[in-house]
């Protein structure tokens, strides 16, 4: 998916026992396998992927795999819920589910880690983070995520507590600061260069971060009123809009 995937597993959990090398290898392998398989299906940068075949017209959506159709249905539902700010198609009409698939991959990897009996972990895919449990197993200590300054990638603007006693387990950031303009803005587009959303689940965080970049302040207000989220949005001039959940690091 063109990014780095990081998995952090604390050791010494009194409930789970200290994981051995075999357990750590198994956890790492399941995360890697899920991301590779989804990338092989949904990447528009791979000419042999199902998504590329759909883009070239070699395959129609009704004949696509159940996995492709399920993710399209999920993306379409998000389009309705965000009033069009999030969309599964590019302006040229090509189906592009990249705005959903990374969050879906993180979600699936988290489910697999729990199935392996690992309950304390932090999964980071290119800055989009999902956590479970605590970095201090057996405690309510939260994981700590940082939000990078879009004008200086070496500097953190603020931090956010995930997991532990926090209801938010996921955080995602979208914008143009790192990858350039790649989000299709709606109508009189805002000048948000970066939007970070914390939410109970990673797909909601990921989709809404993209939707707010695309839809601007109107979409930010809609998200804050509709979902259990915290939002930090940064304008091109460096000014910020934030809901109360964000605080200085």
Per-residue tokens: 216: 């601007």
Phi and psi angles of residue 11, each rounded to the nearest 5 degrees, phi first: -110, 160
The answer to whether position 249 is within a domain reads: no
The answer to whether position 64 is within a domain reads: yes
Other C-beta atoms closer than 10 Å to the C-beta of 206 total: 30
Phi and psi angles of residue 115, each rounded to the nearest 5 degrees, phi first: -65, -30
Per-residue tokens: 220: 């930010």
For the chain, how many structural domains are there in total? 1
pLDDT of residue 182 exceeding 50, the answer is no
The answer to whether position 89 is within a domain reads: yes
Please write the tens of the pLDDT for every residue from 199-216: 999 999 999 999 999 999
Please name the residues in contact with 38: beta carbons below 8 A apart, sequence gap of 6 or more: 1, 101, 104, 105, 108
pLDDT of residue 195 exceeding 50, the answer is yes
User: What is the SS3 assignment for 147?
Assistant: strand
List the domain range (segments joined by +) for residue 144: 5-243
Residue recorded with tokens 């909601």: 204
Q: Which pTM does this prediction carry?
A: 0.89
Per-residue pLDDT band at 144 (split at 50, 70, 90): very high
Return the CATH number at 143: 3.10.520.10
Please write the tens of the pLDDT for every residue from 98-123: 989 999 999 999 999 999 889 999 99
**Residue bearing the bigger pLDDT, 175 or 219:** 219
Other C-beta atoms closer than 10 Å to the C-beta of 140 total: 11
pLDDT of residue 51 exceeding 80, the answer is yes
Phi and psi angles of residue 132, each rounded to the nearest 5 degrees, phi first: -140, 140
């Amino acid at each position: 998916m063109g990014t780095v995937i990081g998995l952090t597993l604390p050791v010494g959990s009194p409930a789970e026992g200290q994981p051995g090398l075999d357990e750590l290898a198994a956890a790492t392998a399941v995360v890697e396998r899920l991301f590779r398989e989804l990338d092989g299906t949904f990447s528009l940068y791979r000419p042999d992927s199902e998504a590329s075949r759909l883009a070239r017209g070699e395959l129609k959506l009704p004949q696509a795999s159940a996995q492709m159709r399920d993710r399209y249905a999920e993306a379409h539902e998000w389009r309705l819920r965000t009033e069009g700010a999030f969309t599964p198609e590019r302006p040229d009409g090509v189906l592009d589910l990249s705005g959903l698939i990374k969050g879906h991959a993180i979600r699936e990897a988290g489910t697999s880690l729990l199935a392996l009996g690992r309950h304390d972990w932090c999964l980071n895919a290119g800055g989009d983070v999902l956590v479970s449990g605590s970095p201090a197993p057996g405690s309510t200590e939260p994981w700590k995520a940082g939000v990078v300054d879009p004008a200086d990638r070496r500097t953190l603007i603020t931090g956010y507590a995930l997991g532990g006693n926090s209801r938010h387990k996921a955080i995602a950031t979208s914008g143009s600061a790192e990858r350039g303009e790649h989000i299709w803005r709606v109508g009189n587009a805002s000048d948000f260069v970066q939007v970070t959303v914390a939410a109970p689940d990673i797909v909601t965080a990921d989709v809404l971060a993209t939707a707010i970049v695309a839809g601007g302040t109107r979409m930010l207000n809609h998200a804050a009123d509709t979902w259990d989220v915290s939002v930090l949005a940064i304008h091109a001039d460096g000014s910020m809009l934030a809901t109360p959940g964000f605080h200085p690091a």
